[in-house]
Amino acid sequence: MKIKIIYGYKKPEEVRALFSEYTNMLILNDKSFKKYLDVQNYDEEINNLEKKYGIPDGRLYLLYYDENLAGCIGLRKIDDQNCEMKRLYIRPEFRGKNLGSVITAEQNEAIKTGTFKDMYIGDYWIINDIMWIIAAFDYYYKGGYTAFMVHHITLVPDVPLYNHVMNDTATTEGGYKSSKMRTKGLEEAKNIIKSAFGERVLKHIITITSAVANGKPVAVSNADSEVELMNEIMLYGCRILSSTNDGTTFPVYYVLEKTQLPLFAFRPDLISNRQHFWLKDVVDDKRFALSGYYGRANENPANLSFGVRPAFSIKGI
């Protein structure tokens, strides 16, 4: 696997082809974008690439992966301190590469040492017919009351593994920690994941809600963790439906998972991936948060059955 980045000035046809793929993709998603391209004088841009992106005030790059044309980017000077990034595009077939059906010795060493060589966000392994996608590197590194210093990769399956309830009744009493999902429902997921990754599955300490009053978390506890549901922050980058400060009650919501997983920032289409699945956030006294099939943040009573799409981390051994 070899990545090569070169100037694009001597390969204008390749640049134009990629620019056209990029703009056609945008127009397909939003027909009104065609008018925006007209305002930008796009036809003049692609016929006079060096006028907008030429050295010294601009840059134009092509990306090759194993000698195959994979992507492009242009940079345009705004002033002496700032530039504008333009036409950043990676062909779909190169946005996440298949890392194989096992973790190789080289991959294991790259994880263990924290170099993560030749592995990128969105890459994946297919093991036991399940796609395990790289969602983050060192997501928990240096976190926790005692700094966590093991290099790791956080993975998520592309779709839920199966369905399960959060609780047998519509209640969030005891928070996520005491839920049927965490005490029993994740066991199948742990077995599936350990069958694929064995002793590489990382065990560490996280903080989770352990008590709820008046529909809001009022206590958290530290807990040993291997495989867990995601929360809204990991998925969306913020809390949407989970309990927040309403000016009167301040919910106890101390968590280590406080930033969006990079995978979902780079590939928002994978957030829901046209699936319903549970998140571990308490919404009120009856409901937990849910990622909806249509891509919406959602919630539902705890006794309904929805997908189990957990996150977990692996280490080098």
pLDDT at 99 over 70: yes
- Whole-number pLDDT of residue 97: 82
Q: What is the largest CA-CA distance in the chain?
A: 66
- Whole-number pLDDT of residue 250: 64
Mean pLDDT over 158-181 rounds to 97
pLDDT at 2 over 90: no
Quick one: tokens of 222?
A: 């530290």
- Whole-number pLDDT of residue 181: 98
Domains located in the chain, CATH noted: 3-94 (3.40.630.30), 105-314 (no CATH)
Cross-strand pairs, 84? 76
- Whole-number pLDDT of residue 60: 96
Cβ count within 10 A of residue 1: 9
Cα-to-chain-centroid distance, residue 29: 21
C-beta of residue 312 within 8 angstroms of C-beta of residue 227: yes
Cβ count within 10 A of residue 222: 14
User: pLDDT tens digits, residue range 251-272?
Assistant: 777 788 889 999 999 888 899 9
User: pLDDT tens digits, residue range 173-206?
Assistant: 999 999 999 999 999 999 999 999 999 999 999 9
Cβ count within 10 A of residue 214: 10
Mean pLDDT over 286-311 rounds to 96
- Whole-number pLDDT of residue 1: 60
Top-confidence residue, 110 or 2: 110
Q: What pTM does this model have?
A: 0.76
